[in-house]
Amino acid sequence: MLSYLSKNNTNNNDNNDNNENSDKDILLSLRTLIIDNYDSYTFNLLQLWNSKESLNNVVVIRNDQFSWIEFKENILPYFDNIIISPGPGSPENNTDFGICKNILELDNIPILGICLGHQGIGLTFGGKVTNAKRIMHGRLSSINHDGSFNPNSLFYKIPSPFLAVRYHSLVIDNKELSSELIISAWCSEDENEKNNDLQECSLNAINNSFNIIDTCNDTSNSIKLSIKEANSTIMGLQHVVKPIYGVQFHPESICTEHGFQILRNFQSISREFLIKTRGISIPHQKLPEHIKSLSVVPKNCFKSISDNSENPTTASSSSSSSSYKIIMKILNKELWIDDSSLIFQKIVSVGKSKCGVWWLDSAKLPDPQSRFSYMGSTPTISNSFSTSYDTLSKKLIITYSNNKNNKIFSEEKLSNQTYWDWMSETMQQFNQRIIGLRVLNGINDTNDMNHMNNMNDNQRIPFDFRLGMVGYFGYEMKRESLRSYQQHHDQSSSVYKVPDAAFIFATQAIIFDHVEKRIWLAGLVRNDLKDSNRSKNNCILDIPLGYSFKDFISWINLTEKKLKKLKQSNQSNQLNQPNQLNQFKQLKQLCSIQNIIKTSSTSTNKNNKINNVNINKLNFIPDLIKDLYLGSIEKAQSYIYEGQSYEICLTTQFRASMPKQVVVGIREGIGERGGGRRVEEEVKERGEVLDIFELYQYIRTNNPAPFSALIHFPTEDLSIFSSSPEKFLQIDNKGVIEMKPIKGTIARAKGCFCLRGDGDDGDVPECDKGVQCEMNRKKDDMRRINQLIGDVKEQAENLMIVDLIRNDLSQICLPHTVKVPSLMKIESYETVHQLVTTVQGNLRNDLDCVNVIRGCFPPGSMTGAPKLRSVQLLDELEDYIPRGVYSGCLGYISLHDGTTTGEGGARRGRGTAKFNVIIRTVVIKDGKEISIGAGGAIVYLSNRESEWKEVLLKSQSVLPSVLEFMKDKRIFQ
């Protein structure tokens, strides 16, 4: 399936072998304008240019960014050719197509239309746009053409047929084609044709990836399908006179073969046209800066830290503005405790933490992505703070852990900026003041920082985390991340209210290296040897933050003493663990599809949109009952059929309320909640406090995942228990970003399969409850893996999100560096197998971590594609009920350690970041309101009943743990 990587890169090498480098440079020096029709694949086109330098003359603008008059007079004269991008909707709709209709009426400029642009070409010259016989999204077809030996063809030097990815619901009717247009490519829609050789050829080329082949034709060049056949679809058009070309497929997709050659051919055709008609000498002058600045991806496309000599982050470490050190200490191996949960319970959560406690937990061991875990709290001496933000009111609340200055919290309205802007500026202020990273040299109680060593290559710290912001961006932060997003008025009336974003500023952390079995302690320490808490130089947010050196040493000593005590008492063996073998299986049965949701359309609310679910007397109420969810699937598929979207990630949430006599919080440790109310007083009013740590223990034990997390915000009375298997993104200290989308899920084989007759040998007479039983289970588990691998729908879902993520990264990375090193790899977790892809790129130097996250948010695996249009449709399909925390991302944005890292100038002061996608997650608000989100990607091939079952399957990853916890605590007795 990685045919883009194998075949397109081969094309590049062939060009080098043929000594065509200079010719290629000339072709790529043409001044190209790309018109973006608000698609989520447009910017993948930039990856078809082979270097940063070759993109200097490429500009991308939106289809409604300028009026036609302004565009024609002030922009068009600077360009040599135009590419009209894919996009949602129809070229018949002016809102969807913008100025592209006017562009296609021009006579004197080469134009390439892709998908929507291709359909616009057909419509402009007398053709008819109609619904396709087969809706094709994220699926491969064999493309036939006759241009292999024609230098004036888009398909020059490309074999026929070749594989290309299709994303479309509409086509040009091949029966009503204008005489002005020539069909240059086509494909068959005969689903009955088979060719295993074609599949094997592709599989051998991609190495452990999977194929998505819907039309399997003979690969021999001698076989070509006639477009006159009723089952053929137009895949390419060419105007008989004008230099106008169109392709229905997507040459920029990761799995389309020969995409680079198609672009090269278009540039070559453009060059010849310009020389003949305008007498233009190639190469010519570069685009002027005022034209390049019009691009929607200029250098400063987001408000960010500039990478220049005047930037305070590049100032000398002796600058008076620098006022912090990040100090770490690696503890003796003798202090290692395998059970990190014991340390959280006995050390982290017992101190009074006004701003909250947090644990970024690599719970799935052994796992290559689970090497490090981080946890911390916010005691008074840490001088930390937490934030919560609401996008509708734009209200930001900051709570401080130290109220020595009589400043418990502050509240402000971000009238002229977004929360993303505020976060970026705040992190910038801290990064400007970081002197560097220091490592304790075995000292104990001293006030002399000179006994510390600088970090060096021989003392390389194995993790990128350097303290900073720990928390989440909820899904509703899309309102401030998606440009052109239009908010519906119904969104303001939701009763399900949690902060749209909330973070704790971590000034201390306990860090676990699960591979080396070492514990690190880290702290943000003020550079004030005299411990002057009121030094103006150390005030950010108008209050001193971070530890004094003396207090930090005290914290280290105290933590080491507590670890020694835990080790000596061997309490890790005495920790109360849930019975994960028996009770969890019983609760899984209680949460079976037959019991979790009533299929009746009865409802308990006025809008007839929810119904009760009673499991062990705990009512889980879905936002959308089954009938309504299936109705939303049907409506989503109608939008896909109309061309409004390729894939829509529909979700719902199951909600329940704790019994009146129970509240979930921290039984010991947190001394105050919002408004300064004591827990003890609250217990009198609301009943017993169930410790959030104990509930999380059930979740992490029963469903371990590499990106698990527990975070508690006491002032918001909000607790998040995440068992997420999906990494949203990671930014390392070399400026490399990695994203790992998950699309494609199937349940693991659990229990006994001996008597089910699922195998080739039919039923067996009895189960030995031993080796043979386990062999049968493993056999069925492998059958399910193979079923997932061969599922065209699941693979199409994954491919669509992969191309979407590549598009996101092309706007924040150097486009030619965006790669897909692993495509659709099977990863297995406690309850499910999943298809996981890895996408990487090198970030541009002008963006900090906050704005990188902003540029990719919300996660594409939770929206669909195109992202903007799909998100707008989802608002309606989900009845304008906010998703809240669910579907957002949770993790950290780290401080920079004051050193310059990365090859090629990875920007100093960016820091690092790592976030999961918030799925498989329990959210508890006000100690009582429980919500669990689940959903799935809807494509045109989706089966409604199967999609509903997948929702239930995903909810069962964490719901049984909640019920098991309640059962063990005798909540319902």
Domain housing 89: 25-190+231-293
Do 348 and 284 sit in the same domain of this protein?
no
Let me know if residue 213 belongs to a domain: no
3-state SS string for 512-572:
EECCCCEEEEEEEEECCCCCCCCCHHHEECCEECCECHHHHHHHHHHHHHHHHHHHHHCHH
Task: Classify strands 32-36 and 81-84 as parallel, antiparallel or unpaired.
Answer: parallel
Q: What contacts 24+ positions apart, CB below 8 Å, involve 945-948?
A: 945/630, 947/633, 947/650, 948/626, 948/629, 948/630, 948/633
- Please say if the pLDDT value at position 407 is more than 80: no
Say how far apart CA 16 and CA 10 lie, in whole Å: 10
Range 449-478 burial, b when 16+ CB lie within 10 A, else e = beebeebeeeeebebbbbbbbbbbbbbbbb
- Please say if the pLDDT value at position 381 is more than 80: yes
- Please say if the pLDDT value at position 507 is more than 70: yes
Do 274 and 371 sit in the same domain of this protein?
no
pLDDT in tens, 754-808: 876 544 445 556 787 788 888 888 898 999 999 988 888 889 889 999 999 999 9
* The two three-digit tokens of residue 462, written as one number: 């194995």
**Half-sphere exposure of residue 568: CA atoms within 13 angstroms, side-chain side:** 6
Our count of domains for the chain comes to 2
Residue predicted with more confidence, 534 or 74: 74
At residue 528, the pLDDT reads: 67
Residue predicted with more confidence, 5 or 804: 804
Task: Work out the percent of the chain whose per-residue pLDDT is above 90.
Answer: 52
Say how far apart CA 190 and CA 174 lie, in whole Å: 16
Nearest alpha-carbon partner for 33 in 129, 89, 103: 103
Beta strands in 554-661 (DSSP E): 614-615, 618-619, 621-622, 647-657
At residue 614, the pLDDT reads: 44
Omega prior to 499 cis, within 30 of 0: no
Lowest-pLDDT choice from 297-301, 336-340, 629-633, 740-744: 297-301
Say how far apart CA 925 and CA 720 lie, in whole Å: 9
pLDDT in tens, 816-868: 899 999 999 998 877 788 889 999 999 988 899 999 999 999 999 999 999 99
Nearest alpha-carbon partner for 202 in 253, 158, 163, 145: 163
pLDDT in tens, 116-143: 999 999 999 999 999 998 999 999 999 9
Q: Residue 770: how many CB atoms within 10 A of its CB? A: 8
Task: Work out the percent of the chain whose per-residue pLDDT is above 70.
Answer: 75
pLDDT in tens, 336-365: 998 899 999 999 988 778 899 999 998 776
**Residue 454 CA to chain centroid, in angstroms?**
35
- Please say if the pLDDT value at position 7 is more than 60: no
Do 396 and 524 sit in the same domain of this protein?
yes
Are the C-beta atoms of residues 206 and 6 closer than 8 Å to each other? yes
Element (H, E) at 437: strand 434-440
Do 258 and 377 sit in the same domain of this protein?
no
Q: How far apart are the first and last CA of the chain?
A: 55
Lowest-pLDDT choice from 1-15, 103-117, 339-353, 950-964: 1-15
Q: Which of the residues are catalytic?
A: 115, 250, 252
Do 130 and 171 sit in the same domain of this protein?
yes
Nearest alpha-carbon partner for 136 in 844, 625, 643, 600: 643
Say how far apart CA 645 and CA 405 lie, in whole Å: 54
Task: For residue 742, name the pLDDT band (cuts at 50, 70, 90).
Answer: confident
Identity of the residue numbered 740: K
Do 264 and 327 sit in the same domain of this protein?
no
Let me know if residue 298 belongs to a domain: no
* The two three-digit tokens of residue 97, written as one number: 């197509």
Burial of 313 (0-12, 13-18, 19+ CB in 10 A): buried
Most confidently predicted of 75-89, 646-660, 816-830: 75-89
At residue 881, the pLDDT reads: 93
Task: For residue 890, name the pLDDT band (cuts at 50, 70, 90).
Answer: very high
Nearest alpha-carbon partner for 623 in 860, 884, 840, 449: 884
Say how far apart CA 348 and CA 337 lie, in whole Å: 14
At residue 649, the pLDDT reads: 96
Q: For tokens 């009845």, name the residue.
A: 879
Say how far apart CA 333 and CA 339 lie, in whole Å: 14
Instruction: Give mean pLDDT, residues 142-148.
Output: 94
Let me know if residue 694 belongs to a domain: no
The partner residues of 367 in beta bridges, in order of sequence, read none
Give the mean pLDDT of the chain: 80
Task: For residue 375, name the pLDDT band (cuts at 50, 70, 90).
Answer: very high
At residue 297, the pLDDT reads: 81
At residue 106, the pLDDT reads: 94
Do 334 and 241 sit in the same domain of this protein?
no
3-state SS string for 268-331:
HHHHHHHHHHHCCCCCCCCCCHHHHCCCCCCCCCCCCCCCCCCCHHHCCCCCCCCCEEEEEEEC
pLDDT in tens, 152-169: 999 999 999 999 999 999
Say how far apart CA 802 and CA 807 lie, in whole Å: 9
Rounded to the nearest 5°, which phi and psi values hold at 140?
-90, 145
Do 282 and 357 sit in the same domain of this protein?
no
Let me know if residue 469 belongs to a domain: no
Let me know if residue 517 belongs to a domain: yes
Provide the whole-model pTM.
0.86
- Please say if the pLDDT value at position 465 is more than 90: yes
Are the C-beta atoms of residues 500 and 476 closer than 8 Å to each other? yes
Q: CA quadruple 506, 509, 513, 516: dihedral positive or negative? A: positive
Let me know if residue 756 belongs to a domain: no
Nearest alpha-carbon partner for 258 in 137, 136, 164: 164
Say how far apart CA 100 and CA 89 lie, in whole Å: 13
Do 337 and 274 sit in the same domain of this protein?
no
* The two three-digit tokens of residue 481, written as one number: 């991340």
- Please say if the pLDDT value at position 664 is more than 90: no
Task: Classify strands 468-473 and 501-506 as parallel, antiparallel or unpaired.
Answer: antiparallel
Let me know if residue 845 belongs to a domain: no
Lowest-pLDDT choice from 474-488, 612-626, 750-764: 750-764
SS3 call for 780 = helix
Rounded to the nearest 5°, which phi and psi values hold at 324?
-135, 150
* The two three-digit tokens of residue 973, written as one number: 């007795």
Lowest-pLDDT choice from 293-302, 433-442, 519-528, 940-949: 293-302
- Please say if the pLDDT value at position 74 is more than 70: yes
CATH, residue 43: 3.40.50.880
SS3 call for 772 = helix
- Please say if the pLDDT value at position 307 is more than 60: no
Element (H, E) at 730: strand 727-731
Are the C-beta atoms of residues 639 and 648 closer than 8 Å to each other? yes
At residue 299, the pLDDT reads: 55
Let me know if residue 436 belongs to a domain: yes
Say how far apart CA 851 and CA 306 lie, in whole Å: 12
At residue 54, the pLDDT reads: 80
At residue 80, the pLDDT reads: 94
- Please say if the pLDDT value at position 368 is more than 80: no
Do 32 and 154 sit in the same domain of this protein?
yes
Do 156 and 278 sit in the same domain of this protein?
yes
pLDDT in tens, 542-568: 677 899 999 999 999 999 999 999 988
How many angstroms separate the Cα of 523 from the Cα of each of 328, 383, 447, 545, 875? 6, 11, 15, 11, 42
Q: What is the DSSP string of 872-941?
A: HHHHHHTTT---TTTTSEEEEEEPP-S---STT-PPTT---EEEEE--SEEEEETTTEEEEEEEEEE-TT
pLDDT in tens, 43-57: 999 999 877 778 888
Do 362 and 236 sit in the same domain of this protein?
no
Eight-state DSSP code of residue 213: B
Nearest alpha-carbon partner for 722 in 701, 707, 743: 707
- Please say if the pLDDT value at position 612 is more than 80: no
Residue predicted with more confidence, 663 or 118: 118
